[in-house]
């Protein structure tokens, strides 16, 4: 599976310091101060010991960092910021130093998004995006707490990603309730002691410990998707400690939390129609229909067939059902890259054959379907997706009553029959062992930032990027019009966007108004 496909499936999803104490949903007093004097002085003064990044002979990412001249370290932070003298955890950090130290601008901290994506190796790819200006920055990769090498968390789930469609009827939804309840209970048994401390606010606090330990008064920041949300939270919690900020594929920070997928139905439907038009023009390759309408009808037939019986695809004969197949569709249409579209069209051709297969026969998967289903269903991916769920569940309270979700699914199904049961479905957060200990950060500040968004983003919508822009009144919005994609700067491949971002990173001066690039 390509990096873009994996991130598309994860959706790279998607808070103001107040008084000394805030109340969580449970009514428990929690720390809400970010005063550097609040028992954190020793953490901020700690000496960072840099060493080789490679860990073992098969650690190619670490070896790549070493070859590039990067060094790695571990920074100690409190597990619980309300008890800084208590248990500690380690945060893994990489540093690729500026190649032109005489003209060094500063330090840039990076975040891939996810939430919960490892970021330690990100300096290498970011350097390639930045062109000449990369030589003027120390690029810092930080695996967030409980991710990658930072005291990793693994719930021991028997599947990869937990996202599913609720299905077509109450029986299917009840299966989802039992499925997600089991996932939450497994995670609680393994990590109940640390789950209360897995949230974005603590990740932002860790980031500030890293900043201080590196000896920096201010840091620049580049974050994608959830990483853009993390950057906004950091700027809100620690005003005056940021320099140049690029928030790529940002969503509406007010919607982040356990039900962050709600509101993405229309953008995904538009992307599905665009893919159907692209595929219809290549009917001779895929045989899915000669018109957009015909291709959409094929998709509908495949989804309906999966609700009748799991599609008989070799090795996955019992799993490609009404819960999995709609999600594969939603994850497959979120890009206008020709190679990715071709891969999904090939997948739909296999699924269509399986939907039409006679009883007792199976259809062989294509490589794209094989990779997507393995990522979704294979428990070997539990270490990747467990932190994502823990962060989401720790950032906001989810409804605990399954009937709330069922009512929302039924209402949404009338307007969005394919994607509504995905975005409104129940999740492990409904059964998380305890509610969040802090309220989400309210984003409202004048921090200068460049927010980058594509108008056809299906994961963090363009409307959401506008919301982030209006909440951060010092920001400017860089729009890529006519594009369907998620993760734009350096990843989508648009020279106009890349040049404008790099110009800002070099000068530090935001444009006086928003900027626009047009997809060629």
Please calculate the CA angle 245-249-250 and round it to the nearest 5 degrees: 70
Average pLDDT in the 219-243 region? 98
100-136 per-position pLDDT tens digit: 999 999 999 999 999 999 999 999 999 999 999 999 9
Closest CA to 213 of 122, 112, 140: 140
In whole angstroms, give the CA distance from residue 296 to residue 299.
5
Question: What is residue 495's predicted lDDT score, i.e. its pLDDT?
Answer: 98
Question: What is residue 38's predicted lDDT score, i.e. its pLDDT?
Answer: 67
Between 20 and 393, where is the model more confident?
A: 393
Closest CA to 247 of 449, 61, 97: 449
Question: What is residue 64's predicted lDDT score, i.e. its pLDDT?
Answer: 97
In whole angstroms, give the CA distance from residue 420 to residue 265.
6
Residue 5 confidence (pLDDT) above 60 = no
Range of the domain at 108: 3-14+94-153+194-257+442-518
Judgement on whether residues 382 and 486 belong to the same structural domain of the protein:
no
- The upper half-sphere exposure of residue 229, i.e. CA atoms within 13 Å in the direction of its Cβ, equals 30
The token pair at 173 is 């939804």
Asked whether residue 69 is domain-assigned, the answer is no
Distances (CA, A) of 184 to 143, 157, 202, 428: 23, 9, 21, 5
In whole angstroms, give the CA distance from residue 53 to residue 71.
6
Q: In the chain, how many domains are there?
A: 2
**Plot region of 285 (φ>0 → left; ψ -120 to 50 → alpha; else → beta):** alpha
Q: Are 235 and 370 in contact (CB under 8 A)?
A: no
**Plot region of 515 (φ>0 → left; ψ -120 to 50 → alpha; else → beta):** beta
Question: What is residue 22's predicted lDDT score, i.e. its pLDDT?
Answer: 32
Partners of residue 476 on adjacent β-strands: 450
In whole angstroms, give the CA distance from residue 448 to residue 295.
45
Residues listed for the chain? 520
Judgement on whether residues 232 and 285 belong to the same structural domain of the protein:
no
Helices then strands, each counted (H, E), the chain: 18, 11
Asked whether residue 73 is domain-assigned, the answer is no
Question: What is residue 317's predicted lDDT score, i.e. its pLDDT?
Answer: 81
Please calculate the CA angle 38-148-426 and round it to the nearest 5 degrees: 90
Q: What are phi and psi of 481, to 5 degrees?
A: -85, 145
H-helix segments, 25-135: 41-45, 60-67, 122-130
Provide the pairing of β-strand 219-224 with 450-454: unpaired
In whole angstroms, give the CA distance from residue 435 to residue 41.
29
Question: What is residue 520's predicted lDDT score, i.e. its pLDDT?
Answer: 86
Judgement on whether residues 329 and 473 belong to the same structural domain of the protein:
no
Judgement on whether residues 409 and 509 belong to the same structural domain of the protein:
no
The mean of the pLDDT values for the chain is: 93
Residues 6 or more apart in contact with residue 339 via CB below 8 angstroms: none
The token pair at 255 is 């919607």
Domain boundary, last residue among 385, 410, 434: 434
Average pLDDT in the 93-98 region? 98
Q: Are 320 and 350 in contact (CB under 8 A)?
A: no
Asked whether residue 324 is domain-assigned, the answer is yes
pLDDT category of residue 1 using cuts at 50, 70 and 90:
very low
Judgement on whether residues 125 and 245 belong to the same structural domain of the protein:
yes
Asked whether residue 47 is domain-assigned, the answer is no
307-359 per-position pLDDT tens digit: 999 999 998 888 999 999 999 999 999 999 999 999 999 999 999 999 999 88
Judgement on whether residues 472 and 359 belong to the same structural domain of the protein:
no
Q: Where do the DSSP E strands lie in 302-428? A: none
361 class by beta-carbon count within 10 Å (0-12 exposed, 13-18 middle, 19+ buried): exposed
Question: What is residue 316's predicted lDDT score, i.e. its pLDDT?
Answer: 87
Q: Are 437 and 196 in contact (CB under 8 A)?
A: yes
Domain boundary, last residue among 410, 434, 458: 434
Asked whether residue 64 is domain-assigned, the answer is no
Judgement on whether residues 294 and 382 belong to the same structural domain of the protein:
yes
Closest CA to 246 of 468, 519, 94, 10: 468
pLDDT category of residue 15 using cuts at 50, 70 and 90:
very low
Provide the pairing of β-strand 29-31 with 21-23: antiparallel
Asked whether residue 289 is domain-assigned, the answer is yes
Judgement on whether residues 99 and 136 belong to the same structural domain of the protein:
yes
In whole angstroms, give the CA distance from residue 343 to residue 345.
5
Asked whether residue 61 is domain-assigned, the answer is no
DSSP classification of residue 365: P
Partners of residue 21 on adjacent β-strands: 31
**Hey, is 24 helix, strand or coil?**
coil
Judgement on whether residues 241 and 123 belong to the same structural domain of the protein:
yes
372-429 per-position pLDDT tens digit: 999 999 999 999 999 999 999 999 999 999 999 999 999 999 999 999 999 999 999 9
Residue 269 confidence (pLDDT) above 60 = yes
Question: What is residue 35's predicted lDDT score, i.e. its pLDDT?
Answer: 52
Question: What is residue 120's predicted lDDT score, i.e. its pLDDT?
Answer: 97
Judgement on whether residues 251 and 314 belong to the same structural domain of the protein:
no
Partners of residue 247 on adjacent β-strands: 223, 451
Residue with the two structure tokens 């790279």: 12
CATH number of the domain to which 504 belongs: 3.40.50.1820
Judgement on whether residues 141 and 208 belong to the same structural domain of the protein:
yes
Asked whether residue 199 is domain-assigned, the answer is yes
Residue 148 confidence (pLDDT) above 60 = yes
Judgement on whether residues 321 and 270 belong to the same structural domain of the protein:
yes
Distance from chain centroid for Cα 316: 26
Residue with the two structure tokens 């790695």: 72
Which helix (H) or strand (E) element contains residue 243?
A: strand 242-248
26-84 per-position pLDDT tens digit: 333 344 444 544 699 999 999 999 999 999 999 999 999 999 999 999 999 999 999 99
444-488 per-position pLDDT tens digit: 999 999 999 999 999 999 999 999 999 999 999 999 999 999 999
């Amino acid at each position: 599976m390509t990096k873009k496909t994996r991130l598309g499936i994860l959706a790279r999803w998607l808070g103001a310091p107040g008084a000394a104490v805030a109340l969580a949903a449970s009514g428990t007093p929690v720390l809400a101060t970010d005063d550097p004097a609040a028992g954190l002085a020793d953490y901020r003064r700690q000496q960072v010991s840099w060493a080789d990044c490679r860990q073992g002979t098969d650690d190619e990412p670490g070896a790549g960092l070493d070859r590039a001249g990067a060094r790695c370290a571990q920074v100690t932070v409190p597990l619980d910021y309300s008890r800084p003298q208590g248990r500690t955890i380690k945060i893994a950090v990489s540093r690729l130093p500026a190649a032109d130290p005489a003209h060094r601008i500063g330090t840039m901290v990076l975040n891939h998004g996810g939430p919960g994506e490892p970021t330690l190796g990100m300096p290498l790819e970011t350097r390639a995006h930045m062109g000449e200006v990369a030589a003027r920055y120390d690029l810092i990769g930080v695996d967030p707490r409980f991710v990658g090498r930072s005291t990793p968390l693994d719930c021991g789930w028997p599947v990869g990603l937990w996202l599913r469609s609720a299905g077509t009827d109450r029986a299917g939804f009840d299966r989802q309730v039992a499925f997600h309840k089991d996932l939450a209970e497994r995670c609680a048994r393994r990590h109940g002691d640390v789950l209360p401390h897995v949230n974005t606010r603590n990740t932002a606090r860790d980031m500030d410990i890293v900043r201080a330990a590196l000896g920096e008064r201010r840091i620049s920041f580049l974050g994608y998707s959830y990483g853009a949300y993390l950057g906004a939270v950091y700027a809100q919690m620690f005003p005056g400690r940021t320099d140049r900020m690029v928030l790529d594929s940002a969503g509406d920070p007010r919607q982040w939390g356990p039900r962050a997928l709600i509101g993405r139905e229309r953008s995904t439907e538009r992307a599905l129609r665009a893919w159907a038009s692209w595929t219809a023009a290549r009917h001779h390759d895929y045989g899915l229909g000669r018109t957009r309408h015909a291709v959409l009808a094929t998709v509908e037939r495949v989804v309906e067939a999966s609700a009748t019986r799991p599609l008989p695809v070799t090795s996955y004969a019992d799993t490609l059902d009404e819960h999995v197949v709609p999600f594969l569709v939603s994850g497959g249409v979120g890009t206008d890259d020709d190679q990715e579209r071709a891969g999904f069209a090939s997948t739909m051709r296999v699924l269509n054959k399986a939907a039409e297969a006679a009883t007792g026969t199976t259809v062989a998967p294509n490589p794209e379907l094989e990779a997507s289903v393995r990522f979704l269903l294979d428990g070997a991916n539990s270490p990747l997706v467990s932190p994502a769920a823990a962060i989401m569940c720790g950032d906001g309270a989810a409804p605990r009553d399954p009937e709330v979700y069922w009512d929302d699914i039924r209402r949404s199904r009338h307007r969005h029959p394919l994607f509504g049961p995905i975005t409104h479905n129940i999740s492990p957060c409904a059964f998380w062992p305890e509610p969040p200990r802090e309220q989400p950060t309210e984003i409202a500040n004048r921090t200068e930032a460049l927010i980058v968004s594509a108008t056809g983003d299906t994961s963090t919508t363009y409307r959401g990027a506008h919301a982030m822009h209006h909440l951060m009144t010092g920001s400017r919005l860089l729009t890529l019009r006519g594009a369907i994609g998620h993760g734009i700067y350096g990843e989508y491949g648009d020279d106009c966007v890349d040049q404008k971002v790099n110009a800002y990173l070099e000068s530090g001066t935001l444009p006086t108004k928003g900027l626009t690039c047009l997809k060629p």
